[in-house]
Amino acid sequence: MGEHITLDEGRARRQSLHRAGKRLVFTNGHFDLLHVGHLDYLEKARALGDALFVGVNSDASTRRLKGVGRPIIPAGERARLLAALAPVSAVFIFEDDTADEPIAALQPDIYVKGGDYALSTDASAARKPLPEAPTVEQYGGKIIFIEYLPEHSTSDLIARIKALP
């Protein structure tokens, strides 16, 4: 079980992991309405290294990126739920719309994102360019994309709830 920490605490833990020769995996997202698709993604991410840190978009960031009515679950509660999951080592909330600042601070060995993203050279109509790619490339980190479980997204879940009679 992980902990809800600050980015500064994450930086200190990263240094300890590095000294011990352990690999840090980092991912980030909104994680609004936690579901099995999130768990599958986090399990796959954790399997890539020795520790998994998760950055959670703040409520303001989620509103800016997802629109009116989001987030459904406040950031503190989303962070607490994520920290309780076995694959997660630590969770923190960040305010920006991209994870560039936490990535630059932590310099994870592996940065993981979902299959809806791609490197800008590989982006298509179905995949968004990964805005954090230059930050990861700058320090020599590795980027890995993990495919989502089909029909297991928060947007799908919200649509199903709205369609209930």
Confidence of residue 89 (pLDDT cuts 50, 70, 90): very high
| DSSP 8-state code for residue 81 | H
Tell whether the model's pLDDT for residue 149 goes beyond 80. no
Tell whether the model's pLDDT for residue 153 goes beyond 80. no
Tell whether the model's pLDDT for residue 29 goes beyond 80. yes
Domains and CATH numbers, the chain: 3-162 (3.40.50.620)
Mean pLDDT of 19-30: 97
Please give the model's pTM, rounded to 2 decimal places. Answer: 0.92
pLDDT confidence of residue 122:
64
